[in-house]
């Protein structure tokens, strides 16, 4: 049996806590969003997001020469403009 160091254990715990917090925030957002937005508007927004991703992700990936980590940074910049 392999023993995990206290530092590794703390890193794992922090990762789990951060993921849990993010999941809870996503759930809260979805609940609030669905109460205030019509299904038609939600569908339009979803379609617009899909179009934006389809347009910007290939550009970002090309600029990053296939490096997905760099492409994400470029993609986020494109989405801001």
In the chain, where the domains are located: 1-36, 49-81
| The predicted structure's pLDDT at residue 51 | 94
**31-79 pLDDT, tens digit each:** 998 899 998 998 999 999 999 999 999 999 999 999 999 999 999 998 8
Dihedral of the alpha carbons of 53, 59, 60, 61, in degrees to the nearest 10: 100
Residue range 3-10: mean pLDDT, rounded = 89
How far the first Cα of the chain sits from its last, in Å, is 52
For the entire predicted model, the pTM comes to 0.53
pLDDT at residue 58, rounded to an integer: 94
Give the pLDDT of residue 4.
83
């Amino acid at each position: 049996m392999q023993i995990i160091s206290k530092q590794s254990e703390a890193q794992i715990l922090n990762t789990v806590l951060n993921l849990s917090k993010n999941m809870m925030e996503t759930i809260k957002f979805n609940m609030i969003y669905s109460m205030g937005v019509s299904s038609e508007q939600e569908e339009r927004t979803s379609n617009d997001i899909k179009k934006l991703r389809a347009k910007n992700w290939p550009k970002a990936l090309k600029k990053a020469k296939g490096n997905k980590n760099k492409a994400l940074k470029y993609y986020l910049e494109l989405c801001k403009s």
